[in-house]
Structure 1
């Protein structure tokens, strides 16, 4: 049986690229979304050179209309998705007593609102009404940092949204889950290498339905 496409929102040189590579290696046509068009084209070309099928879509996750349009175009060009990963995040150091309202709103747009837009856009398009919606969470959702306040708030809000969506979609054939990463991606601990993390997302997508979970605590 042919596999549906994999849409990865938030593709950079770390986890995002590793996710695209993992799902491409698993036989999915992959669509890569991010702000840097040149970098995305380079990644897609490298995957194509390996015999994979990959397409790049330059878009800002903070732009709801643009993100929805890019996702819809990817489905038109690559077929109905089997898995969608929302990996976009804006990581800015900021203190709770120094937050700028405009910057906080922009951070929330990337960290949370973009995830909502992605979910609402792709839910009706999932292959045969089934598939996985996976979201990159973080340990700051459980233990907020006063040095990264907007990211802490964003990850907490994302976790709450995904768990609500998971409950709503129970019995629908759609697996909704967040991967709460409790370590530094790409640091000294090999467990948190982009490749090992991407393998965990792939395993989560492959889970039998009777084992579906709303959250994978990766600590």
Structure 2
């Protein structure tokens, strides 16, 4: 990517990357570390024409629902994020918090 001066790094994690969950402490620590790595990548690659994005899921995915919990909806969000050059992290769906996770 660096040689070609283009590319994309897309990271999808669970919401505990942003909001640590004491009931899932081991996974929360790992996701928080990954989040830090992603933020550092974005800072280091932002001026090199390499897209770095992070979507942190606050939803349990189910197939063929045609709603926010459908994997196709997440894929569509990734596509929009990439083509609109929306670098950085976001919680999905928009506005979700650790208290409003969609099951």
Say whether the fold is shared (TM-score over 0.5).
yes
Aligned twin of 2:33: 157
Aligned twin of 2:22: 146
User: 1:140-191 CA distances to partner (integer Å, 9 max, x unpaired)?
Assistant: 1222223322211111111111011101112110011111111212288920
Which residues of 2 match residues 1-219 of structure 1 at below 5 A?
123-124=1-2, 128-186=4-62, 190-208=67-85, 212-219=86-93
Are the aligned partners of 1:163 and 1:177 in contact in 2 as well (CA < 8 Å)?
no
**Deviation for aligned residue 1:124:** 3.8
> SS at 2:91's partner residue?
strand
Q: Which runs of no fewer than 5 residues in structure 2 stay unpaired?
A: 94-103
TM-score, normalising length from structure 1?
Answer: 0.38
TM-score, normalising length from structure 2?
Answer: 0.75
Query: Which of 1 and 2 has greater Rg?
Result: 1
Q: Which runs of no fewer than 5 residues in structure 1 stay unpaired?
A: 1-122
> SS at 2:53's partner residue?
strand
Distance in 1 of aligned mates of 2:66 and 2:59 = 8
Are the aligned partners of 1:176 and 1:214 in contact in 2 as well (CA < 8 Å)?
yes
Point out which structure has higher relative CO (alpha carbons under 8 A, 6+ apart): 2
RMSD over equivalenced CA pairs, Å: 2.2
Distance in 2 of aligned mates of 1:130 and 1:183 = 31
**Deviation for aligned residue 1:215:** 0.9
Judging by fraction of residues, say which structure has more helix.
1
User: 1:34-78 CA distances to partner (integer Å, 9 max, x unpaired)?
Assistant: xxxxxxxxxxxxxxxxxxxxxxxxxxxxxxxxxxxxxxxxxxxxx
User: 1:102-145 CA distances to partner (integer Å, 9 max, x unpaired)?
Assistant: xxxxxxxxxxxxxxxxxxxxx446xx321211101221122222
